[in-house]
Amino acid sequence: MAKWWRSLRTAIQSPQQPLSPPQPFHSQSSRYHTIQAIPREVVGSRVSAREREQGRIPAVVFSQSLLDINPSNRYNSRKRLLTTEKKQIQAILKSVEIPFFCSTTFPLQIRAGSGSSALLESGTVLPIKIHRDEKTGKILNLVFAWADEGTEMKVDVPVVFKGEENCPGLKKDFPAYLEITKLPKFPTMFSILTMCQINA
């Protein structure tokens, strides 16, 4: 006779409450990484290609409501076309492992220009999409959603299994992501502990 125990432990990552060790992921990365960007006034595939050649990555940020299938719910899109530094994004991706990047919020600062100290706009954003070249894997552009305090968002939170070698069937039948609708202080991941005890 087998008895199965499953406990769902939610590890919440936020600037105020980092993940507790032992934890293989860099829990405090978002507090150390403020994404710097500048406005992008000219658009087009050629312009974007030129930006990438110069070590920059085109990006866009808008309110998540812009993606709603109901047009009446697409309020105040607050859309901004931006350019970010490739080195900075690569540094963030090294410290925040994919897929946790798209369930972690980051401060965003929009400067007047490269090297400028003039701050045009700031806020908190959630990465929702990384577009890559299918052949090379290089980042083509980034998509962010505003995640300021009081904003309700839909987020796909990764599920991480602990001890699935003991209960392989659980991982097989469980989704890789859980969609939650919550304010910006959402979990970065769900960690599921699995244990199996066999009684004679």
pTM: 0.68
Please return the burial class of 92, using the count of CB atoms within 10 Å of its CB with bins 0-12, 13-18 and 19+. Answer: buried
Q: Which residues contact 56 (CB under 8 A, 6 or more apart)?
A: 83, 84, 85, 86
Domains, the chain, with CATH or none: 2-198 (2.40.240.10)
pLDDT top residue among 102 and 157? 102
The two tokens of residue 81 are 């076309």
State the amino acid at position 187 in one-letter form. Answer: P
User: At 159, is the pLDDT very low, low, confident or very high (cuts 50, 70, 90)?
Assistant: confident
Would you state the pLDDT for residue 149? 80
Q: Is 78 left (phi over 0), alpha (psi -120 to 50) or beta?
A: left
Q: What distance in Å separates the CA atoms of residue 58 and residue 80, rounded to the nearest whole number?
A: 11
pLDDT top residue among 172 and 96? 96
Average pLDDT value for the chain: 73
